[in-house]
Amino acid sequence: MTDTATKIAAGLEQAFVEFGFAEPPVEALREAAGVSMRTLYKYTPSRSEMVLSALEHRHRRYLHHVFDGLPGSKAEALDEIIARIAQWMAQEAPRGCLFHAAVAAAPQDARLRELLKRHKGEVAARAAKAAGAEDREMDLSLIFEGLTQSWPLHGSAAAGCARRLAGGLCPG
């Protein structure tokens, strides 16, 4: 991504986090992106493209936050992944998963559904590999989904439950 594309995506991401997907008019999105309307439409020619750009940016940030610099021990890595997901939820997504919110706002959008699937799949696959539990990818996916979906109701208690559920998944 170019610096301008990254700036736009970051601004759009924050606008969608703050206002949701239905509420902000394009002028508010342009303002959040910090560019002219012409530049906004050059990089994201439709509202749908704006949403996709914001979510792709969020996907990269999330993967960086959760997986960069994990401890070498597989059990420690899984515990750290859960801690980082909880930290993300507290700081970046206290109202829930932005990917699920985007799909809920446009359930017929196949590109959004595919992005959601890719995002969740990549998170589960990377976590399974880091934990040495490649055969438990679906289990980890369900634990992470439980954590992110229950965060708005239960906060950090959801992370404790996720740790307990994940505790037996790693090999020795």
Q: Per-residue pLDDT for 43 more than 90? A: yes
pLDDT at 72: 86
Q: Per-residue pLDDT for 5 more than 80? A: yes
Regarding whether 77 and 157 lie in a shared domain, the answer is yes
58 occurs within a structural domain = no
Per-residue burial over 46-77, b = 16 or more CB atoms within 10 Å of its CB, e = otherwise: eeeebbbbbbbbbbeebeeebbeebeeebbeb
pLDDT at 75: 82
Instruction: Quote the domain boundaries for residue 119.
Output: 69-172
Total domain count, the chain: 2
Query: DSSP character for 5?
Result: H
CA atoms of 143 and 153, how far apart (whole Å): 16
61 occurs within a structural domain = no
**pLDDT tens string 149-167:** 999 999 999 999 999 999 8
Taking all residues of the chain, what is their mean pLDDT, rounded to a whole number?
Answer: 94
- Of the residues 53, 78, 93, the one at which a domain ends: 53
> Residues 98-121: what's their mean pLDDT?
97
64 occurs within a structural domain = no
In contact, 40 and 8? CB cutoff 8 Å: yes
> Phi and psi of 171, rounded to 5°?
-70, 145
Regarding whether 78 and 48 lie in a shared domain, the answer is no
Choose among 93, 19, 7: nearest CA to 44.
7
Element counts in the chain: helices (H) and strands (E): 9, 0
In contact, 78 and 154? CB cutoff 8 Å: no
pLDDT at 2: 85
CA atoms of 9 and 18, how far apart (whole Å): 14
In contact, 103 and 112? CB cutoff 8 Å: yes
Report the SS3 class of residue 72.
coil
**pLDDT tens string 66-104:** 999 999 888 899 999 999 999 999 999 999 999 999 999
Q: What token pair was written down for 44?
A: 């994201």
